[in-house]
Structure 1
């Protein structure tokens, strides 16, 4: 089967009979229903891929009821919803059928097991007490030798010198305190910080605040700026001279700041959103 041919070349198999020769009355699978709706709408796989921005290989896999390439139940449900809208069919019964076949609505998956390797941190070492003790012993021996050599009155002079020498060293830790105090505040992201974005460009900040989500970002020429998974707590900032196009795999976990303004759209968990932002006041294209 060639990819992108006419819908007639991709008709579903006529397997409406069971092994005993009787016609099956069971409802079609999710993939078969989507395939039949696509053909009825006169669309090819290429047409669906272009309309949904879902890769052709994933469209073929969905029609074959193979949802593994989708990357999980949340993304599979988003692809089913987008696919159904593209072929002009109601996604609700298809999502219900998918949930029945896959054990119900997916529960949020913690990101930690998928990225366990990133949790490994170098073991923190304690202070080297052996070296400190050796240095202290050397200092004491040197001091005793010095006072024995000087003798008599020089003992008081040596003690005075040691006392005077100890005063600056005791005061040294206090000197860096002002610099530490000034370095303590952290520059956490805020509306005012993002508002400093250039006015002659469009600036979009994408933050995964409630979970992880696949995102894609392109500039006004269609050049890919980013295509990958954004983990919980991570942010990405994209900038272009005129326009930024976004696709959010799970828009419900995303917070957007566009040109210095927080976007208050009520995105639903698991929803795939396609957004376009330009210069000035944020406007969804």
Structure 2
């Protein structure tokens, strides 16, 4: 009988993994081989560079540029080789500290309401009405004074010829005052003491990461086609666009005219004085 650690010793149990499933890289590699695809073919179909594909299949995610890009590459490669990406992304989150909870985007700001100017009183119509009233009163008084019977010794006279009185002029209708046209600044009002950034995915999805000037994570996730996000900070907004091609970007109410290519990764920063090159 020998003295020493037995095969069932708890110290030996620590050498066995708690989860016997394949690693993310091995699962992707096996699925690629089973599909009869080379690394170069997968890279061409997903636009993920060949060195990054090799690194991910070796479970090295340091070349992805961060968790958001690592998750995006895992999703893209899984679809390319015929795997369901959801379990692999969950496995990645479990092995790398979990996915950070996204902060809700800052609410959009309402445009300023423009109050119409109060209508001024129509003095012209009032003056015409007053003149008509005076002329009518004078005419009634004169008619009443001459309608009595003639006194003794007076000579009878024929009826006096009717005098033609001009009809009072009709007041001209007043044109309504034109309504004020809202200005561009009222339609897209943004506070001048903050930096406001709005992103819209036009025809394709993109992975977005937005941070405030103090490093606080405002958003980290996928922006689907047709979706928009607006972020605001007192000093600066830092952006990372994983697929910058379909992104339409507005900074402090003005559109950024820079053209980004599909699949291009852009790192941008904007302050209250922008828009200018990020």
Normalising by structure 2, report the TM-score.
0.39
Q: TM-score, normalised by structure 1?
A: 0.38
Could you say which structure has the larger radius of gyration? 2
Relative to total residues, which structure has the larger helix share, 1 or 2?
Answer: 1
